[in-house]
Structure 1
C-alpha cells in the first residue's frame, strides 16, 4: 500500500490542532493509502507543542518536530519535506483554510499517474480586506511578468506531490526559500483544483500585511533579476538627462552670456530626485547582496529542539 505523508506547519495553533486532526481522521478512511501526519511546531509560544504531544500519544500516525524558536513557515515546510518519506507528500495548513475533504480527490488524481502534483487555488478572496486582496493580485501579475515563473493567482501551498517531485524540491538547498516559486520552478505536471475561500476555524492568523509584503519581496528577489535591470535602466536614463542638461547649460551660456543664475527651487528638486534614485538603487542592490551574504554563511534553515 502506498504511503501519504501530510506536512502541517503550526505556530501558536493550540486551538486548532485537535480540530484539524478530527477533520483529517474523517477523510483518512476514504483514501486507499497509509497516512502519517507530520506537525511542525514553529517555535510556538502557546500550548501548541503540548497539544501535539497529546495527539502523538494517542495516535501512532502522528509525529511532530519542534523548533528551538520561530524560524518561519518556509523553514517549517522544508523540515517537513525532509522528514516525510511517503510515496506521496501533502502540504496543508492546520487552521482548516485548506479543506481536508479535498485530499481523497487529490490523492486519487496523483495515483493515476497523469499528474505529478495536484495543487489548490482560491477562486475568490471573500473575507479578505480589499487592500490585501488588491496587492495579492498585483503580486501574482507582476512576478509572472518579471520572472520565468507562472504562478496561478490565488494558489495555495496546499497540494499533494509525488516522491520524485519532492526529492527535486529538496535538492534545492537555498536558505531563503520561497516555496510557491520552488514548486513551480521544478516543473512537473500540476493539476489545479479551485475552491471557495474559507475562514480560519479558530484562533487568529500570524501573517500581518508587512509580513506578507516581506514574503512577496523575497519571491521577487529569489526568482527575478528585474529589479537590477530597473536600476541599470534608471542609471542610463539619469546619465542621458545629465548630458542633455549640460548641453542646455552650455548653449544657454553661449546665447545669453552674463545672465544670472535662475531656477534654484527647480535645481533643489532635481537634486533631491536623483538622490532618491541613487538611494533606491543602492537599496535594491543591497537586497541582492544581503541574499548572497545570508547564503554564504550556510547557517541551518532551522534548529530542532525535539521531535517524535
Structure 2
C-alpha cells in the first residue's frame, strides 16, 4: 500500500488538478493507495473541496486542523496516520510531479535504498535574489550542522515505513523536516528534476517566511550560532583589556589627553550591538527550549472522514 501525504493551505484551486493527476499515476502503478490530505487551517474552501472529493473517491482521507499549525505539523500528522508500506509527501500545487512516483517506487523495491528524495536542478521562474539566498542557506547549514541537506532538496520523497516510524519517534516540537530526514540517516537516493511551476493558485511562502524557516533550521540543527556568540564575547573581552592597558599607559606617559566624544560613542554602540546580537542568539535557543518543555501537541484535528486517525499528538 502507498500513502500520499498532501499538506494543504488555501489550495482549493489546485486540489482538483492534483487529485486527477495523482489518481492516474497511482492507478497505473496498480497498488492499493490512500491520499491523506491535511487541511492546515485553510481560510478558503479547501475543506469543502476535500469533503466533496472524499464522497467521490474512497481513497481520499482528509484531516482538518482546528487552526493553522504550519506545514511541518501537517506533515507530522500525515506521518502519524499513514498506513502504507511506502509513504510519500507531496505538495498539492503539482510542483512535485506525480509522474516521478513509478520510478521512485522501483528504486525502493530494488532494496538498495530506504528513501528516494527529489531535488530541483534548476530554479527557473524563481526570483534571482530568492535563489541566491536559498543556495547560501544550503551551503551554510551543511557546513555547521550534522544534517545532510542537498541543495535544491524538496520535501517530496517516497520512504519505506521503517524510515517514517523513525521520523514519528522524533517527537520534538520545533520541527525542520529537511534536517530530520538527513539526521536520521537511512540510504537515500536523490532524484534530480527540472523546476515545475504551480498549476494554480499562489505560493504561500513569501521571502520572509522562507528566511524565518531557514533561521529555524539552522537553530534546530546547529549550536554554531551559540559558539559564534561566545567567540564574539571572548574577542571583545580581549580588546577591552587591550584598550584599558593602552589608556593606562597613555595616562602615565602623556598625562590626561583630551578624549573625543565621537570615538567613545562609536565604541559604546559597537560593543552594545555585539552584546545585543549575542543575547538575541541565546534568546532564540532559550525560546526553542521553552516551547519544547511545554509539551503542547503538534496538531489538533477538528474534522476527518476516518475516525481511526490520531486526532492530537
CA displacement at 1:236 relative to structure 2? 0.3
Q: Which residue of 2 aligns with 1:189?
A: 187
CA displacement at 1:26 relative to structure 2? 1.6
Q: Which residue of 2 aligns with 1:173?
A: 171
> What do residues 169-216 of structure 1 show as CA deviations (whole Å, max 9, x unaligned)?
111001110000011111000001111101100000111111111111
Q: Which residue of 2 aligns with 1:297?
A: 294
Contact 2:72 2:175 in 1 (8 A): yes
CA displacement at 1:261 relative to structure 2? 2.4
Query: Hey, what's the Cα distance between the residues in 1 that align with 2:111 and 2:34?
Result: 22
Count of matched residue positions in the alignment of Structure 1 and Structure 2: 305
Query: Hey, what's the Cα distance between the residues in 2 that align with 1:242 and 1:22?
Result: 67
CA displacement at 1:108 relative to structure 2? 1.0
TM, length-normalised to structure 1 = 0.98
Q: Give runs of ≥4 in structure 1 deviating > 4 Å.
A: none
Contact 2:4 2:88 in 1 (8 A): yes
Q: Does 1:147 align with 2:130?
A: no
Contact 2:251 2:257 in 1 (8 A): no
Query: Hey, what's the Cα distance between the residues in 2 that align with 1:206 and 1:216?
Result: 15
SS at match of 2:5: strand
Q: Which residue of 1 aligns with 2:303?
A: 306
Query: Hey, what's the Cα distance between the residues in 2 that align with 1:65 and 1:278?
Result: 45
RMSD: 0.8
Query: Hey, what's the Cα distance between the residues in 1 that align with 2:117 and 2:235?
Result: 43
SS at match of 1:30: helix
Q: Does 1:219 align with 2:217?
A: yes
CA displacement at 1:122 relative to structure 2? 0.3
Query: Hey, what's the Cα distance between the residues in 2 that align with 1:187 and 1:150?
Result: 8
> What do residues 212-249 of structure 1 show as CA deviations (whole Å, max 9, x unaligned)?
11111110111000000001000000110001001100
Q: Which runs of 5+ in 1 are unaligned?
A: none
Query: Hey, what's the Cα distance between the residues in 2 that align with 1:262 and 1:171?
Result: 62
CA displacement at 1:260 relative to structure 2? 3.1
Q: Which residue of 2 aligns with 1:90?
A: 88
Q: Which residue of 1 aligns with 2:199?
A: 201
CA displacement at 1:28 relative to structure 2? 1.1
2:116 to 110, 118, 128: 118
CA displacement at 1:5 relative to structure 2? 0.3
Query: Hey, what's the Cα distance between the residues in 2 that align with 1:229 and 1:59?
Result: 53
2:276 to 279, 299, 302: 279
1:288 to 272, 278, 285: 285
TM, length-normalised to structure 2 = 0.96
CA displacement at 1:292 relative to structure 2? 0.7
Q: Which residue of 1 aligns with 2:66?
A: 68
Q: Which runs of 5+ in 2 are unaligned?
A: 306-313
Q: Does 1:163 align with 2:200?
A: no
